[in-house]
Amino acid sequence: MPELPEVETVRRGLAPVMEGAVIARAAVNRPDLRWPFPEGMAERLTGKRVERLRRRSKYILADLSSGETLLIHLGMSGRMLVSGDPLGHFVHDHPAPEKHDHVVLDMEGGARITFNDPRRFGAMDLMPTAGAEAHKLLAHLGPEPLGNAFSESYLATALADRATPIKAALLDQRIVAGLGNIYVCEALYRARIAPARACRRISSARLGALVPIIRDVLTEAIAAGGSSLRDFRQADGELGYFQHNFDVYGRETAPCRTEGCGTPIRRIVQSGRSSFYCPTCQR
């Protein structure tokens, strides 16, 4: 499933053709994805201007001139692809319709945004922009890891007394929003913290030091266009490239990249997810 860097990469790719533009025509080609689409979604989108395109955790939010906000979740295999952009950001002509093109937004000016989702684990919803943070998918999210509320003191305090393994705690969206398996593995490697170590057995200083490390990992991943492991594509159809910079994720038995180490990377399973780490460098 796309994590924060992949979703932010898609948002940045969509912004030049969506922000300030009017949706000339919206087509909804099936009644549902993971959940049913909101009633009359095509009619509620058609003719509306996209005032702002933002991200909250792993969700893209399009604030509309109607006073509603379109929530987009990519799910496991969802892609939002742009074609026919007259501004020159995207050179692709409109492709022939495909089987899994579930929502198509034709923008005034000629750009088209197509939401394609073969596995149908994605989702879209419409909600009032005022009070959007109270939506059931957003209401219990923690602070954004790239925002000011995610500080060294916040994380140290939030995790200080928890017996939870640090890996599980960082994946808890109520503690910090948007982090997923890949980038938590990479951040813990840089912090030299073992993924199975209980939070309360990690000093406040080490917990606090995770904050700038997490920010660095996410910032580098966004700059690289995210990570393409299976289905992820940027809005222009290109792959992300951060997977070529992984230090531990997916590198089981490969040598640790820390100079002078070389210990084989190990994989363990935590709550059904693979954790990759160096047993020598991470304690």
Catalytic residue list: 2-3, 58, 273
Q: How far is CA 230 from the centre of its chain?
A: 15
Beta-bridge mates of residue 269: 274
Considering just the CA atoms, what is the radius of gyration of the chain in Å? 20
For the record, the structure tokens of 120 come out as 């149908």
Distance CA 235, CA 34 (A): 21
State whether residue 13 is helix, strand or coil.
helix
Distance CA 278, CA 249 (A): 10
Q: How far is CA 174 from the centre of its chain?
A: 15
Contact criterion met (CB below 8 Å) for 76 and 94: no
Task: Output the CA–CA distances (angstroms, integers) from residue 275 to 91, 171, 190, 206, 280, in the order listed.
Answer: 39, 12, 14, 20, 15
State whether residue 17 is helix, strand or coil.
helix
Mark out the alpha helices in 192-265 (DSSP H runs). Answer: 204-223
